[in-house]
Amino acid sequence: MGSAAVKRAFKFRFYPTEEQATELSQTFGCIRKVYNLALEARDEAWSRHGERVTFNDTSAMLTLWKHTEELAFLNDVAAVPLQQTLRHLQTAFIAFWNKRSSYPRFKSCKKSRASAEYTRSAFRYRDGQLTLAKMTAPLNIVWSRPLPEGVPPSTVTVSRDSAGRWFVSLLCEDQEVRPLPPTDSTVGIDAGLHSLLTLSTGEKVPNPKHELRDRARLARAQRRLTRKAPGDGANRNEARRRLARIHARVADRRRNYLHNVTTRLVRENQTLVIEDLSVHNMVRNRNLARSISDASWREFRTMLEYKANWYGREVVTIDRWFPSSKRCSACGALAERLPLDVRVWTCSTCNASHDRDVNAAMNILAAGRAVTVCGDDVRPQRNLPGGQSSAKQKARPVRAGDSPIREHVNSASS
């Protein structure tokens, strides 16, 4: 990592007054309206005339909308969050054109995230007091940790979750985030459900199963919500918030646990090797979907990668088709079949006994070393009848006899 300071978001909970809550709720509604109008204008221009509408075009449209009688209410809220939502729409289209995401969708009042982004011209931060544009009083923020000294926030994002809690996120440059001293430690990490993580050292990080602990409470709250008729306004909203609060507590505990685990792993190891798991496809298994979602492998990987970038560590990702569980870490032989319920197995070639997850972590470590040192591919060689290779195979597959992976596996086990 270079000498440039890391931009880091500091998120705090705050308690708005009734007037502030009304103002912010109105801002959220205007943001959704402007976003949907701009998306509709882009859709119509492309479908009818084959033209692309730019950010500058939508910004000019926003000015015209504010002068119409129908949309005059857009003048009642701060202008910056409305401009920022147009920038977010432009970013969404760029991601779509680069094939990194799907086509932008319209924002829904019930499902979309309620948030508003303010740049420096739309807020005042002074002496620990944050005041947003169009507001006279500062926000009542619970400062659970200090901000970096002498560094003013560059942007402020206000949000409200489905449980009705209010949060403010301040983006600051954090000079204290620096690369850690280099270390020779390298670890392979196998994600699982019995244990959340299994390390190549043999350590198993337990899976707290946060959702399972509250599953009975979630079921009761869901039944109460189901009994409320759609037109049963206040009672249905209270039942919905009660269910959302339980989900929020589960998510908070899960996120806190993952932060603790990822921070420790990044501090202790120079190189971390993980598998490129396709969680989106894995949750299609109806028997395991709830457990996989509760494990939150995607969030674990995201945290690991950005913290490694902060502290000068390296995350190596190996191919998802690499047979980490079925390969013997002692001799490199592949097991014919290894069902998920088999937790301990014995290699038929060398008679070595393996814990399924520890063996997988050791193979992941060896594969990561091979990728780092040789740049080799770790996708397995799959031979089909007639000598043809699998269609899912990459250009440079691993072969049992000539791949450096096997040497690293043997050295890791010795």
Active site residues: 190, 275, 357
Whether the Cβ atoms of residue 74 and residue 33 lie closer than 8 Å to each other: yes
Chain centre to alpha carbon of residue 69: 41
Whether the Cβ atoms of residue 275 and residue 142 lie closer than 8 Å to each other: no
Residue 379's contacts (CB-CB under 8 Å, 6 or more residues apart) are 319, 321, 322, 393, 394, 397, 398
Q: What is the C-alpha separation between 126 and 296, in angstroms, rounded?
A: 38
Q: What is the C-alpha separation between 238 and 225, in angstroms, rounded?
A: 9
Q: What is the C-alpha separation between 381 and 390, in angstroms, rounded?
A: 8
What does the angle CA 157 – CA 160 – CA 163 come to, to the nearest 5 degrees?
155
Whether the Cβ atoms of residue 197 and residue 191 lie closer than 8 Å to each other: yes
Q: What is the C-alpha separation between 165 and 182, in angstroms, rounded?
A: 41
Distances from the Cα of 413 to the Cα of 200, 301, 335, angstroms: 10, 26, 18
Q: What are phi and psi of 330, to 5 degrees?
A: -95, -45
- Amino acid at position 386, single letter: G
- Whose tokens are 């490199």? That residue is 332
Which two three-digit tokens encode residue 95? 């991601």
- Numbers of helices and strands, H then E, in the chain: 11, 14
Whether the Cβ atoms of residue 360 and residue 198 lie closer than 8 Å to each other: yes
* Selection from 170, 75, 159 nearest residue 119 by Cα: 170
Q: What is the C-alpha separation between 414 and 412, in angstroms, rounded?
A: 6
